Structure 1
Amino acid sequence: MSGPDAPKDYADQAVRPFVITGGRVRASRNTIGVDTLLMTAPDPPPLPRAAPREQHALLRICARLHPLVEAAAQLQLPVSVVAIVACDLVDSGHLHARSPIPEAERPSLTMLQELLDGLRKL
């Protein structure tokens, strides 16, 4: 949608998402979700000259630890597209992906409350 009737906050992109992903609709890894944390690998190999600008932008964003969903928001791309781009960069050694701590491994609220109460008694 473009033209005088288009909403002011709508930004039509010249490149469609399927072009960015090479027509793929699924990521190469099933471990990358919206809450996956991404960070640029230390001393990554240089990106190929033909690397899309989205890969360059994602590497810049992930110089600091970022969740996938936040990177997608900054890139103004669908999360599914950024997941595919991120998987490509993980596969090539440019990004590290870390899943958050599973719910089963997190401390319970009861234990945390007991710890807090114990610290307050000190």
Structure 2
Amino acid sequence: MSPPAEEGALWYDDDAGPMVRAYTITGGRTRPESGQEIDLIAVIVADPDIAPDETLDEQHLALLDLCRPAPLSVAELASEADLAVGVVRVLLGDLLRDGQLRVIRPVPPAELPDAGLLRDVINGLRAL
């Protein structure tokens, strides 16, 4: 697609909104600076009593606002913010580093109870 011929013409229409590249939002980063990977189903919790840092940009503040009323997963935040999951992970890493929010990570599969044990418990309960 070639740029519009008119000088000052917009590169987007009213429905699409402004186009901002993902690397612009994250400052060129593709991973959180902390090096921690944030799982898609990890739940993000923002403390409503902590005032947001004044130096945060628009996208960081939007993520904080989204998870203040109720905790949301990373996937839900990406959907609500209309941002790519990778971008949201990088922005969440910044907020985690600054202590603006916390993450409730999913239980690793190795720590989940054995399916056979759960079946035995259910069968034992049925036998009562």
Q: Quickly name the TM-score band, shorter chain normalised.
A: 0.7 to 0.9
Other structure's SS at 1:59 match: helix
Within 5 A, what are the aligned runs for 1:1-122?
11=16, 13-28=18-33, 29-41=35-47, 43-48=49-54, 50-63=55-68, 64-122=70-128
Aligned length: 115
Cα deviations across residues 61-82 of structure 1 (Å, max 9, x unaligned)? 2222221112111111110000
Deviation track 1:39-84 (CA, whole Å, cap 9, x = no partner) reads: 1135324321x42222122112222222111211111111000000
* CA-atom RMSD in angstroms: 2.2
TM-superposed deviation, 1:111: 1.4
Unaligned runs of 5+ in 1: none
Report deviation, 1:19. Answer: 1.5
Structure exhibiting the larger radius of gyration computed from Cα positions: 2
CA contact (8 A) 1:41 1:93 kept: no
Kept in 2, the 8 Å contact 1:34–1:67? The answer is yes
Percent of pairs identical after alignment? 33
**SS state of the match for residue 39, structure 1?**
strand
- TM-score, length of structure 1 as denominator length: 0.79
**Higher normalized contact order (CA 8 Å, seq sep 6+, divided by chain length):** 1
CA distance in 1, matches of 2:18, 2:117: 49
